[in-house]
Structure 1
Amino acid sequence: MTHTLSRDDARRIIVRAQMLDARRPGDVVEVAEQLAVIKIDPTAVIAPAQHATAWARIGWGYEPGQLTKAVEDDRVLFEYDGTIRPISVLPLLVPRMRHWPQHARGRGWMEANARFADDVLARLRADGPLLASEIEDTAQVARQSESGWYGSNQVPRMLESLERQGRVAVVGREGRLRRWDVTERAWPKALPEYTDEDAARLLDERRLQAAGIAKERSAWTPVGAAGEPAVIDGVKGRWRVDPQALAALDDDPGGRVAILNPYDRILFDRPRLRDVFEFDYVLEQFKPKAERVYGQFAHPILVGDRFVALLDAALDRTRETLHVTALHELAPIEPEEMEMIRGEIADLAEWLGVPVTGLR
């Protein structure tokens, strides 16, 4: 059976799956279990992405130390490939790790540096956890950075390669610096084991759980055959919907205001954002200043299931204020909605421990 949904229903399913409705989660572990992936990004124009993501959902009950504790002490969450994920997802990633790297260039570099990899692993086993700067670069073959992201030292690249193979893991951070260890110490003992096929199927299900609804052949939110087929009135394409999210449509807790970091997961699938929310979001971070319309790092504002504004603001650490440069209205906003938006901006500033300036 193919379900037929209105665009409003599809929006409500997505908002609820992303924990952005009126019913707030209790802690960051609950958030990570539902979203499956929380992006780490150090660009702290207002707050780092991982903390802003948690705050947008939990609100006042969230403190940044809770995420650190869950990752480093309790080990119920883990860092992988620039994201925070729940431990329940780790066994589903392990089969894919066994096949990395899949591209010839990456395989060639790892094969040429087999002794280097052994050196890094031996050093971690003997003295870890360690920062990359504490590990010697014994690379046989250097790989030049095309993006400028890496320097000449090959240790960070090797650590990230070994991470993708499931041989080392990030176990903590000192500021922005990652502390690494071997996975036999970092990971829980006796993880469940899955075949490649079962792991891929279960990952598709977790992605759909977090998405609520996704296009059947989406490069942004690949969900395979998970869930049930659906179509959305007025929207092209075939979709997959999470049956649990569909069953909960009538149990609607209502909406609220959410200020979203540009790297928030609800914004990741840009085609879905355009199709379902009719919101064409462009992050202007990498545009020349003269070409920016809404600001370098404008935060989308969700009211209920509509994106109504973009907040151009920054935490001014010198003056210790949250300074609002502009609040760009994208759609008509009712006076009571504007009052709610202003209240959420004030709450954000209070969470940061500073006053708001510039908001008219």
Structure 2
Amino acid sequence: MPPPPHRLTARDARRVAVRAQLLSRPRPGDVVETVRELAHLQMDPVTAVAPAQHLVLWSRLGSDYDTAELDRSLADRTLVELLGHIRPAEDIALYAAEMSAWPVPPPGRDELLGWQRRNAEWVAANDRARRDVLAHLKAEGPSPTGGLPDSTEVPWRSTGWTNDKNLGRLLDFMVARGEVAVAGRKGGQRLWDLAERVYPDVPALPLEEAVAEQDRRRLAACGLLRPRGPQCPTESIDGGTAGEEAVVEGLPGTWRVDPRHLDGTDFDGRAALLCPIGRLVFDRTRMGQIFTFNYVLEMYKPKARRRWGYYALPVLDGDQLVGKLDATADRKAGVLHVDALHEDGVWSAARRERVIAEIEDLARWLDLDPVLPAHLGGE
């Protein structure tokens, strides 16, 4: 008979999530340790403040974080890039079986989903182009996308920005198949090479075991997850059967919790400014349920319809999400413009001081001068 579920208060749930994401004290030690604890960093090139991968690391490590440390870890292959996420190189063992069997039905299903079948059919229809890319890389070595042959015959159709991005989509699927990998970057462009020359030679875990370990590491990095969530093509947002069952006060259904984060010691919280696609807030449904926080990334909205700003950063204080920072890094002028600090509810003077200190730390890390509105102490 299974043990009874853990019963968490709303505050317990918030603290489990914050602690798991390394957003309480003490801070982690270095970049590689942080990536291993978080399981992955999602990459995004938007530089309104800083690229997502760097912003996530700064929010954990503080202004002493040197972006060159991440670059070095990627260059020496301690960390590798896989489908837009930075992961510990040894974790390739968790994905190798999926790559070999691509495409793989989602957990609990025997058949592919419709979009998975369509992707596989499109790759098969462009098999000659796939073989041309592999032949080029074998002969020439690392190459930018623009240096690769594009002999696709069937165009990629999409209602989104990838429509007609034939070679780019083919490369994405070749990454998923374990055939090519990002070997580095030059001038902001990805350099591609054969996966066997990029990834470490580690034994692949059997598929079922690998998926279970992915779930376990995802839950360890998030602390508390729904057992099932929407299917995502690159990184799931649920916990599967990892961890132990939990119910959370005031929330529907059951959750999966990593019991290692159910530490009875005092929670030592701090203020933090979060990347809009960081794991604490990426699953907006989970975010809303656990933190009762209303937030969307508004960069895709017309300016007139934005409430909080183009790239507003969620504001964490202790175990609560309490507001949004609308700020822009103007590197030419050498300043970090704070256009607004949206405070949810009534902030104490102490909370405001903690958040302003984080804004100043962000500016220091970016090597910019903070420009704050007058009511926040600006000139």
Normalised by the length of structure 1, the TM-score is 0.94
Matched residue, 1:292: 306
Alignment partners' CA distance in 2, 1:138 and 1:108: 16
1:45-124 alignment, distance < 5 Å: 45-73=48-76, 75-101=77-103, 103-124=116-137
Matched residue, 1:222: 238
Segments of 5+ residues of structure 1 without an aligned counterpart are none
1:292 positional shift: 0.9
Alignment partners' CA distance in 2, 1:107 and 1:213: 33
Matched residue, 1:332: 346
Residue 303 of structure 1, aligned match among 301, 317, 330: 317
- Contact 2:63–2:362 at 8 Å: present in 1 too? no
Alignment partners' CA distance in 2, 1:100 and 1:128: 24
After superposition, give the CA deviation of every residue in 1:131-168 in whole Å (9 maximum; x if it has no partner): 0111121223333453233556x332222111110110
Between the two proteins, what is the percent identity of the paired residues? 42
Letter in 1 for 2:49: I
For the residue of structure 2 that corresponds to 1:172, the secondary structure is strand
1:176 positional shift: 2.8
Alignment partners' CA distance in 1, 2:14 and 2:156: 45
For the residue of structure 2 that corresponds to 1:124, the secondary structure is helix
Matched residue, 2:211: 200
Alignment partners' CA distance in 2, 1:278 and 1:311: 18
1:354 equivalent to 2:354? Answer no
Alignment partners' CA distance in 1, 2:369 and 2:276: 22
1:243 equivalent to 2:267? Answer no
After superposition, give the CA deviation of every residue in 1:163-205 in whole Å (9 maximum; x if it has no partner): 110110001112431011101111112x122211111111110
1:215 positional shift: 1.7
- Contact 2:79–2:88 at 8 Å: present in 1 too? yes
Query: What is the total number of aligned residue pairs between the two structures?
Result: 355
Residue 224 of structure 2, aligned match among 210, 213, 224: 213
- Contact 2:63–2:364 at 8 Å: present in 1 too? no
Alignment partners' CA distance in 1, 2:120 and 2:40: 27
Alignment partners' CA distance in 1, 2:101 and 2:85: 20
After superposition, give the CA deviation of every residue in 1:234-282 in whole Å (9 maximum; x if it has no partner): 2211011102112xx2233501111011111111121111111111211
- Distance change in 2, residues 1:111/1:216 (3 Å): closer
Letter in 1 for 2:20: A
- Tell me whether 103-112 or 141-150 shows the greater mean CA deviation: 141-150
- Distance change in 2, residues 1:345/1:257 (3 Å): same
Letter in 2 for 1:159: L
Letter in 1 for 2:239: V
Segments of 5+ residues of structure 2 without an aligned counterpart are 104-111, 231-235
- Tell me whether 92-101 or 192-201 shows the greater mean CA deviation: 92-101
For the residue of structure 2 that corresponds to 1:181, the secondary structure is strand
- Contact 1:325–1:358 at 8 Å: present in 2 too? yes
- Distance change in 2, residues 1:355/1:122 (3 Å): same
Matched residue, 1:232: 248
After superposition, give the CA deviation of every residue in 1:94-133 in whole Å (9 maximum; x if it has no partner): 2222232452322222222222111111111111111011
After superposition, give the CA deviation of every residue in 1:325-347 in whole Å (9 maximum; x if it has no partner): 10010122211111111111011
1:225 positional shift: 1.1
Letter in 1 for 2:304: A
Residue 188 of structure 1, aligned match among 200, 204, 207: 200
Alignment partners' CA distance in 2, 1:24 and 1:221: 24
Letter in 2 for 1:299: L
Alignment partners' CA distance in 1, 2:299 and 2:167: 29
- Contact 1:23–1:253 at 8 Å: present in 2 too? no
After superposition, give the CA deviation of every residue in 1:39-71 in whole Å (9 maximum; x if it has no partner): 111111111100000000011331111111111
1:261 equivalent to 2:275? Answer yes
Alignment partners' CA distance in 2, 1:148 and 1:233: 41
- Contact 1:308–1:332 at 8 Å: present in 2 too? no
For the residue of structure 2 that corresponds to 1:310, the secondary structure is strand
Letter in 2 for 1:98: S
For the residue of structure 1 that corresponds to 2:87, the secondary structure is strand
Residue 283 of structure 1, aligned match among 294, 297, 303: 297
- Contact 1:169–1:182 at 8 Å: present in 2 too? yes
> How much is the aligned-residue C-alpha RMSD, in angstroms?
1.5
After superposition, give the CA deviation of every residue in 1:284-316 in whole Å (9 maximum; x if it has no partner): 111111111111111011000111121001011
Alignment partners' CA distance in 1, 2:90 and 2:12: 29
Alignment partners' CA distance in 1, 2:12 and 2:155: 52
Alignment partners' CA distance in 2, 1:150 and 1:217: 30
Alignment partners' CA distance in 2, 1:141 and 1:301: 45
For the residue of structure 2 that corresponds to 1:98, the secondary structure is helix
- Contact 2:162–2:169 at 8 Å: present in 1 too? no
Alignment partners' CA distance in 1, 2:78 and 2:207: 24
1:272 equivalent to 2:283? Answer no
Normalised by the length of structure 2, the TM-score is 0.90
